[in-house]
Chain A
């Protein structure tokens, strides 16, 4: 008797959460899939908010940036540039370079959103952060779950991250106002970046990229309009490409010789 109840319960639960069955289920599924990832982004939101305020950015702007720009790494970098009074053009240009990867995400997801209405496309595009993209594209690639509702999954994941980013940013802003400037919170950005750069140093080309960019940044630190950052980034990208193609070239020669 009990096992039968359990069975029918689990059946209806499966239907309830089966993303194939309804858009609502897909949305919830996407939302839940994003939860572990947004746990990792909460500290960044807190740090961002606190640092923004400690650098004198008005709370409204710090919080506003999180919905107007909605891109963590470029928000961090913008804080650096703004505190150094970099001109608008440099800030926007740097934002462009730092966020270029989103075009790649856009290209990768476009085949799956092709059939959607313009409203859906524009909404999902707004939510296309690293973290939402990772979850959404995994679900799209998973051919074992065929469903017409995958864009709801994407929406769930995207909104989960959006909400969490807004909240953690706001809390960070609130906390930051309580923390004295002598705590050097602005260095927290550099420390966070140190933590993030090491996993990205996977091969000789990326190490060369990092070292050359860092060196140029040091040399060009006195450059006008804070252009040193963009110069360093471009140098790093070029060096990375050169080292990478050198390696492939010598490998090819070795195979022939």
Chain B
């Protein structure tokens, strides 16, 4: 039940943001500092997810070569940096992970 409530609030918050200027705050200008800060939301939020997934896959810091996610992630990063191709990155990253998991097992 709480899960559905969570979804509902997520939805309300998101809708409120979308509705904000169009309906609710039609006269309000977004402060320039907020506008400037907004462009850092993608790199900040995405990295905040990526780093723990790669470096702390099981909750503890794992910088060893045995950390398949670390290696797969680094490979994916290389592909993303060089090719800027989303689909290729996903294929290489997941492929590398599966190969390593298969080998390690």
A residues contacting B by CB (< 8 A) are 40, 43, 47, 61, 64-65, 68-71, 73-74, 77-78, 80, 82, 88, 91-92, 95-110, 113-114, 118, 121-122, 124-126, 128, 182-184, 187-201, 205-207, 209-218, 221, 228-229, 232-241, 244
Contacts and interface: CB of A to CB of B under 8 A. Distances in A.
A148 to B, nearest CB: 18
Nearest to A231: B48
Contact of A191 (B19, B20, B76, B85): B76
Task: Give chain A's interface secondary structure class.
Answer: helix
Task: Give chain B's interface secondary structure class.
Answer: helix
The 9 closest A-B pairs by CB, nearest first: A236-B44, A240-B40, A214-B51, A191-B93, A232-B48, A195-B89, A106-B21, A190-B53, A68-B11
B13 A96 contact: yes
Given A88-B5, A184-B101, A233-B45, A217 B18 contact: no
Interface residues of B, number: 66
Given A68-B8, A105-B18, A187 B53 contact: yes
Nearest to B57: A187
Contact of B3 (A61, A108, A212, A234): A61
A92 B13 CA distance: 7
Contacts of B15: 125-126
Interface in B41-77: 41-56, 59, 61, 69, 72-73, 76-77
A19 to B, nearest CB: 21
Interface of B: 2-11, 13-15, 17-23, 26, 29-30, 33, 35-56, 59, 61, 69, 72-73, 76-77, 80-81, 84-87, 89-90, 93-94, 97-98, 101
B22 A201 contact: no
8 contacts: A68-B11, A99-B14, A102-B14, A104-B38, A106-B20, A200-B43, A205-B40, A206-B40
